[in-house]
A and B are shown apart, each in its own frame.
Chain A
């Protein structure tokens, strides 16, 4: 960096280090006696010794083990029910639907699965759909979207981003919403029925709002020209995504949940991290304190089977789960905390032993030096 080369200024007897290092100013004057320049800034000099680290290990151990137990218990208390309805098996009620799938069929294929819950789900129940071997995190897939179109930009609506290829235009009309993610939106319809012991089926009411991030729903996703309530007119010159059965403005009847701000759509657009994932589908609100949200008993799940997964050996499942302060059921955190806490505690004990046994000897052995 400071390769010295001949510089003409040296002719005048200024032998300054070529790049101005140690220039004349420094050369002739006494260096400043400041703490910084003399590398004598006051400093804290912590030394990690067994003595100082020991309490830390014990404290970590003592904190982590209870947290871990708490997490583990919480996770175990979460009720979760999962049912696979892909229909790969001959015996599965959805086998026919999965076999006879065609993009062009006009009549939706329905199938019904029966299951029973052994335990009542007390608090709010969250209904998820899960997909397996579905690479929502594939690079080609992740980037195939146009966020400015989804944000209601009129120009992007007419002229979607190049990233949306090959789902950018259809029959010379721009696709809205464009891109592979939107195009492959999950479109199975799941309905849940409670079967009374006497055989009558009652549909369980779903709430379909509040399943997407608040900021996504209210800021990131916006319908174009929000002043115009008539979405049909807004999307007039656009084509629906190729694999969709209905255009984007018919996703829901509620204008607050239609078009780009449809929450099912928004949830789908948040691409999953791993090829096996779940996404929030509906929320079953607790009615009152007296009855559980989902009592013990038999249920039927009615599936409108629109979404093909067999071509890539995918799996579809429906998950019912309650939620705690730490989210869904996941024993990992609890186990991790208990393990780390125990390790720390154990190490603390070992260190205490070492410190006690060898600590003194170390000091004495140093003295002859």
Chain B
């Protein structure tokens, strides 16, 4: 938010202009009107929130914006201003403590940010000024400066590459810290710039800063004396982003275009919106109830006070005269202050410490996730990562799991399986016998042992070798990258020379490697010419003319190359659906069969096509492409138009099948999640057949599952229009899955393995967009609700052909549906970020597709299989822990304050506190806080192994089961029961206050101390009863805090404290312990108040399968859990 404000400040007026003009090297240009040095923001990165001066006010302001803190502040102020029963210290001290700790934590974090900022801002960079290189601090770079960057340095701001030390005017860059892609990307200098940068006079016109890392549009005007100014288009390939690192290039010069907070990197780090967990919402609801209790208590007391006082002689008996000031006060004002006083007296019912404890529990608890060695993946040498600790308990509440397919369910570890050339199937085997490396299998399709012609084969393989954007890693370059190349290298030692390929997509590597197995080796790209080694070990060279990049809309890519002989060829590869319409129809049929069969086997298929371009055709395409690339506006659209125009009339030469293996234990994990009552939805950009086969492989769909398909294919109908058919199908499916299904019992008791027909639902992106945005607005809500109802009754849903944004749309739709279920998204790639951010819990997989997903996730795990433990064990435990923590906190404060409320009836509604101020303050901070904190960190009411073995246990806590109104009511009633018991038990004892064997009597403070002692012991023992997992820490903390209470009471009553105005508790505790009656009443009250709890635990019928297993553990004996080595 702050950054946005900053941007606005930096941007200033020029924000209104669509583009900015930059004078390279601040040199005025001859042609244009007078040189106006426009103001841009400087290159300082400010990520810190505070400065030394504004820290205190600003931090305090932000902290008191929280409702809870503000409430406590108000209470504190009331105590300071109004004459209240308890001293301001009792609420001021805890509040001060909380505020200070938070401030210190935030201050420290900000300090780190300052340090990091300084490191970046004070970094020395070389700037060319008037022909000299000047060392400057990074923050002093201005837009228009020409900056020098040497190898392995990061770029200090966004630069347009002007000059590179490499011959071909390129430089290599890794953007690992930006988007996680560790491959080397090639960036190009602006063509035709002068060798001598000093003589370069140019302006750059480019768009205003925007966060998209992969988009940049600009134009450079180069002015040369006595020449027309040359115009060059600038694209993302010319832009070097701040944060990226220069690799493999000695040094480069570039001109700064965006600086400081306007760099793409800074714009990309917009703070994530904070997610709130369901537990937090419950807390707020309970808080409201308690606030009502609090206010009604205060109102009741105030009313009764004035009723009582109206009786003669009660208000001001002779022994208890009011002060003059009190007498003078206005009656209504007095009523109001009385009300406030009661509020203050009872305010402990809403404890400050609960917030602290909850935060601490979340913060400390999340360490168990990072520490879990089961989440450690030896391959990437990393464990789980927790980005937010606010959502720990949400992991135990997940109802819908949205998973990506590629890289999440599958390994994204591509392996070339087979290909089909001209209708003939070629299956590669490791042990091939034939010289040329081909093995022809007799597929079911092709009974005859046939091979396509030699020519076709070679054309197909050349196409595989040429049509890609793979780079060959230079020998002897960084070691780090060797691991990054591909998993295949390690798994399968290759006979050919080790060769590292770098590509943005693993498919491409798999294809290039596949071609390699068949004898065609891609040697690399050097100054626009691609070299391949053919089967005869001859080097063939092709001049790379154009790359028509891959994009998810077109779902294909092409290259245009020129052979030695001067022929111009276009090779295109892409998804079947995008290739088939663009080739000759008669070629399609032969290959379609293969493609479909491969797809059902779960392979990723690509079709390869080619086209020979005549000189004229090429000339047209060339100019079209160049023009489109120069366009400042709508460049994307124009490019796509040209691409589509070029990629027509091709001839299909073959198809490839690449296997994407399932993740380890993917099926088991999915089964466990379904068993836990979660609905798993697969959202993928992949095609339906592939995705479906993955779903079968993962056992999301089973043999008995009836599939309801809602795709473009099923929508095709001669009679009806698409939308009508859609409505028809929706209604039919709805009848099947929703209306005919026997009504399922709501809640956790629902049995999963009913004999009901399981339904699986399949929808594709195009159909989804019709569902979401039908032609008639009126239908929208109807379609949506039908769709949702069907989905909710299906065990698994597969959404294929999804665009990233559609994924988020689906998540949002489910999230906002009836009952607002808790959703979880898991994915590994940049295309999953939107759904990760949208879902309640976002999980990133530290996969191959960069770190985008990890960075935007709430939790990151190395493998899909870890999701099972994360949800079933960690999530379950965290939920139980925090739910118990919350309920317990409200309960213990209710029975803490209830006696105090009841005491008002016996002290003339005078707001006399029952307990001493020290007890009031320390109750929540010291005496009862540690046991519950330890409980909420360590409790395992069911051991982790059992939780993992019985996924159904997860359902017992579904729908926020422990924080619903029923359990809340139970806890509240328990608190009320105990509070009444404490107060009246002691009240009856005090009907004769001579409790000592020497006839001496006890006073009001003894009364309070007895109640308080019973309270502390009962509340702690109640927790002890609830604890199912007694580690030494629990023992230490529970018995320790009871001992501490006793010790403290002795100590507090043992000394005449000089700073206290009244020595109320002097020897009260010791005297109490010298009275046998006090002991007896304490014991009986504790036992009596715990009795219903014990009874309930015993009588509650043990349910579910775990009870049996738990009983197997010998009761009342130490169970030493064996460590798994």
Contact = CB atoms under 8 A, between A and B. Distances in A.
Interface residues of B, number: 139
B90 to A, nearest CB: 15
Given A138-B912, A278-B992, A312-B317, A273 B366 contact: no
B387 A4 contact: yes
Given A8-B47, A40-B1121, A50-B1098, A15 B389 contact: no
A311 B1031 contact: no
8 contacts: A10-B269, A15-B855, A22-B386, A27-B383, A37-B371, A43-B1118, A46-B1028, A336-B1088
Interface in A1-23: 1-13, 15, 17-22
A333 B999 contact: no
The 3 tightest CB contacts between A and B, nearest first, are: A6-B269, A184-B319, A328-B994
A4 B907 CA distance: 52
Given A15-B854, A166-B324, A326-B1077, A275 B906 contact: yes
B1004 A271 contact: yes
A39 interface: yes
Contacts of B318: 184, 243, 308, 311-312
Given A46-B1028, A369-B1108, A330 B1077 contact: yes
Given A27-B385, A180-B320, A43 B1061 contact: no
A361 B906 CA distance: 52
A201 interface: no
B1037 to A, nearest CB: 13
Contact of A145 (B313, B383, B1062): B1062
A37 B1033 CA distance: 13
B177 A13 contact: yes
Contacts of A27: 382-383, 385
B28 interface: no
B1000 interface: yes
Contacts of B119: 8-9
Contacts of B1120: 42
A283 interface: yes
Contacts of B1097: 48
B385 A8 contact: no
A9 B45 CA distance: 11
A21 B910 CA distance: 50
Contact of A39 (B272, B940, B1108): B940
Nearest to B182: A13
A43 to B, nearest CB: 5
A274 B987 contact: yes
A22 B367 CA distance: 8
A42 B985 contact: no
Interface string A177-190: 00010011000000
A168 to B, nearest CB: 9
Interface string B1050-1065: 0000001000111100
Given A3-B272, A6-B266, A26-B370, A11 B313 contact: no
A250 interface: no
Contacts of B1088: 336, 340
B1107 interface: yes
Interface in A194-248: 210-213, 215-216, 219-220, 243
B215 interface: no
Interface in A78-134: 124, 126, 128, 134
A54 to B, nearest CB: 9
Interface in B720-753: none
Interface stretch (A251-259, A287-295, A317-325): A317-325
Given A2-B387, A7-B116, A21 B1116 contact: no
B1025 A12 contact: no
A136 B1005 CA distance: 12
Contacts of B362: 1
A151 interface: yes
A330 B313 CA distance: 31
A278 B1003 CA distance: 10
A134 to B, nearest CB: 8
Interface stretch (B126-134, B425-433, B794-802, B1079-1087): B1079-1087
B14 interface: no
Contacts of B366: 21
A333 B1108 contact: no
A3 B274 contact: yes
Contacts of A18: 109, 387
A45 interface: yes
Interface in B165-196: 176-177
Contact of A151 (B367, B371, B1056): B1056
A138 B323 CA distance: 14
B221 interface: no
Contacts of A363: 1108, 1111
Contacts of A163: 1061-1062
B376 A47 contact: no
A44 B1030 contact: yes
B389 A274 contact: no
Nearest to A330: B992
A323 B1075 CA distance: 12
Contacts of B990: 273-274
Contact of B320 (A33, A49, A141, A351): A141
A52 interface: yes
A243 B318 CA distance: 9
Interface in B777-797: none
A69 interface: no
Contacts of A277: 993, 1001
Given A2-B388, A41-B1032, A327-B995, A48 B1000 contact: no
B1112 to A, nearest CB: 10
A239 to B, nearest CB: 16
Contacts of B384: 22
Contacts of B1121: 40, 42-43
Contacts of A211: 999-1000
Contacts of B320: 135, 138, 140-141, 144, 180, 184
A141 B376 CA distance: 66
Given A5-B271, A328-B992, A35 B313 contact: no
Contacts of A215: 1066-1067, 1070-1071
A6 to B, nearest CB: 3
Contacts of B443: none
Given A1-B362, A362-B1101, A325 B911 contact: no
Contact of B370 (A21, A50, A332): A21
A199 B96 CA distance: 73
Contact of A161 (B363, B381, B988, B1061): B1061
B243 A39 contact: no
Nearest to A165: B323
A44 B1031 CA distance: 6
A138 B321 CA distance: 11
B1004 A48 contact: no
Given A31-B376, A147-B1062, A330-B989, A347 B1003 contact: no
